[in-house]
Amino acid sequence: MDAKIRLYVDQPLAPGQAVRLSPDQAHYLTGVMRLTAGAAILIFNGRDGEWRATLAEAGKRGAIALPDTQTRPLHLPPDLWLLFAPIKKARTDFIVEKAVELGAARILPVQTRHTNSERIRQDRLQAHAIEAAEQCGATYVPGVTDLQHLDKLLTKWPDDRRLYWCDETALGQPASIAPATGPAAILIGPEGGFSAEEAARLRGKANVIPLSLGPRILRADTAAVAALTLWQAACGDWR
């Protein structure tokens, strides 16, 4: 029987090792998808690859899956972080979802001078990243950090990680990223743009590379997709 449903589980995966699914997962499988004992599903944990598993138990009291065959090994994304200033809830969700689909290894919401949202639900965004990984076939789930101030993040920024700063003041310049190797990150600003002080600090750091995204001003969520695409085409695992 072909397995079409994919679920993330935070448990070790090995042949025959029972995996007790969460109550929400059990309800989804049995109450929504109407699966019964003996049905096949796909499970992954972000560490041990993807596995085909059989439902050994499926009922009101819960569900247990038994992995039998690894269908895909763990595929780690490139060492790319996405930093972005949170915006409206649905559009922030969109950024997290597309970052997972486009192969970001870590997602870091940042507080800037003009950030509209002063708080986030880190647990909710992490759950959204898990859902995106389940849907897009990823075997790795990027961590979503809690909201951090940009100034503090820049103070402890690693010297070996290039930071591509999507600079709206470079409007009209060619949108391009030169092929390169090593750790990298992309910074997307808030809807109001970066403050003069933030822009000056970014320009003063040696490993910050200003990046134009073309002749038009993009919304923050569109900019995130565009920048991730440019980087993956030039430096990532699309080549």
Tell me the pLDDT tens digit for each residue of 112-121.
Answer: 999 877 789 9
Alpha carbons 136 and 236: distance in angstroms, whole number: 18
CATH class of 6-72: mainly beta
Distance set, CA 17 to CA 3, 51, 53, 57 (Å): 18, 11, 10, 14
Secondary structure of residue 189 in the 3-state scheme: coil
Model confidence, pTM: 0.94
Tell me the average pLDDT across 11-25.
96
Q: Does residue 124 come out as left (phi exceeding 0), alpha (psi in the -120 to 50 range) or beta?
A: alpha
Mean pLDDT over each residue of the chain, to the nearest integer: 94
What pLDDT score was predicted for residue 61?
75
Q: In whole angstroms, give the CA distance from residue 129 to residue 145.
A: 11
Percent of the chain with pLDDT over 90: 86
Q: How far is CA 75 from the centre of its chain?
A: 14
In 3D, which of 87, 81, 65 has the Cα closest to residue 12?
65
Taking residues 53-81, what's their average pLDDT? 94
Please indicate whether the domains covering 6-72 and 80-235 agree at the CATH topology level: no
Domain map (residue ranges) of the chain: 6-72, 80-235
CATH number of 80-235: 3.40.1280.10
